[in-house]
Amino acid sequence: MDNNGKPHPPGQVPDVVVIGEALIDVVTTPDGTTEHPGGSPANVAYGLARLGVSTGLLTSIGADRRGEALEEHLTGAGVAILPGSRSQERTSTATATIASDGSASYAFDIAWDVEPPDLAHTPPRIVHTGSIASFLSPGAVGVKAMLEELRSECIITYDPNIRPALLGTHAEALHTFEELVQLTSVVKLSDEDAEWLYPRKALEETATHILDLGAELAVITRGSAGSLLASSATTLSIPAVKTRVVDTIGAGDSYMSALILGLLTRGTGGLAPSVLDQLGCTAAAAAAITVSRAGARPPTEDELRTQLQYQPQLNSHA
């Protein structure tokens, strides 16, 4: 795969630090077994680096062949693997077994722990976390401690990327999610995440609730129906970019990477309606590129710039 990332300069504080799991997705079919790098936070870090963003990843992988494959994949795009990330005996895996009739069964071998570094001394501009790392003990405790320390020092973005099989009870997961929302600036979730967390709320109500918990921006992606961006002053609906869909693998993580890029480059407009529109359109463009080709292949900086240049004006509405 062409990574097209810019290597992160050694010793320099990255603009974005991503905290969360990197794992190997194992897919077994009657024709054989394939392995691919995965883990939502790792995918976001990879997507950011391909967009030219200086990115560090604090993760938890093993000193084994799979860990080496993950590190090569990420550093090849320009991601800096932060010290302490090789902390497990073996690298985590998520295995999907596809039977001859097309039915699938899933198994997870995931361990998550993290030793919080002193990021507050020289904080990045943005910290992103989410997915399994924000729920699974013992590492989730460390993630929360880092967010508490950094919340006044930088922008914190959060994508819960709900995986019900790994979260315990709904009540426990909801409690964890809402505690973390109170420490974050921007929360992004899919419509499936929103409906699982708040089955009795409409998406707009869920966005309002997240803002009431303390977030400054709530973003809900809705697949081909586009995305919803809500601040205390504005709610915008951004349409998806029309494209030929090959598969949707990695679309949500690609959207998140481009959303973070937009937050870094938005200038002094805060969360004005025009800024939200630009954030949503940029993220929609990145997702469209990703779904137009097979696998989790987020756009490069040049690809996204070209897409935005030729993309028809998206008409968002309140």
- pLDDT for 312: 57
Q: Where are the alpha helices (DSSP H) in the chain?
A: 40-50, 65-77, 139-150, 170-181, 191-197, 203-212, 251-265, 273-291, 301-310
Segments in the chain below pLDDT 50: 1, 314-318
- pLDDT for 6: 61
- pLDDT for 3: 57
Provide the Cα torsion 289, 291, 295, 299; round to 10°. Answer: 20
- pLDDT for 5: 59
- pLDDT for 314: 47
Distances (CA, A) of 71 to 66, 168, 178, 300: 9, 30, 32, 19
Give 111-131 pLDDT, tens digit per residue: 999 887 778 788 999 999 999
Residue appearing with tokens 């469209």: 288
Residue 165 to residue 146: CA distance in whole angstroms: 25
- pLDDT for 10: 58
> Domains in the chain, ordered, with CATH?
16-310 (3.40.1190.20)
